[in-house]
Amino acid sequence: MRPLTVVMLVLAALQLAFSGLTALVGLFADGGDPWQRVLLVVVHPLSAAGLLIAVVLPGLGTRAFGLVMVLLLISVGGDVAVSALIAGGAIKGDWWLPLIFSAVPIAGIAYLSGRLFNVRSSMRNS
């Protein structure tokens, strides 16, 4: 296994554990609108699980690969939107906190995009 793959594997596993724990806390927390809860309880764990699966299974099919990328993009977009709403004063909270959830998905998008680019370039060369 390449070192970058090992790093992504560790990051994806930690992201899954972190998002799973915060999803459990989010189920019992008071406050926050339904969209924030969906992001916290559904999107984050699904995107983390998808990233872990995509890292572990390099031969993932095109549809599954696309689904993982879409989930990661929705996760990052939602986190950035919530952060912007907090920074603008529309909702209460620390503006930087949602961005913590975006770090690993952004790294995952970059990693998976690079892997996709390598697969396509090797297909052209052969």
pLDDT in tens, 27-71: 887 777 888 889 999 999 999 999 999 999 988 888 999 999 999
Q: Which residues contact 111 (CB under 8 A, 6 or more apart)?
A: 4, 8, 55
The pLDDT value recorded for residue 89 is 93
Percent of the chain with pLDDT strictly greater than 90: 70
Phi, psi of 59 (to 5 degrees): -95, 30
Angle between helices 44-56 and 62-87 (to 10 degrees): 140
Q: Where are the beta strands (DSSP E) in 5-109?
A: none
pTM score, two decimals? 0.89
Q: Taking a C-beta distance cutoff of 8 angstroms, is the pair 44, 25 a contact? A: no
Please report the pLDDT score of residue 123 as a whole number: 61
* 3-state secondary structure at position 57: coil
Give residue 67's pLDDT: 96
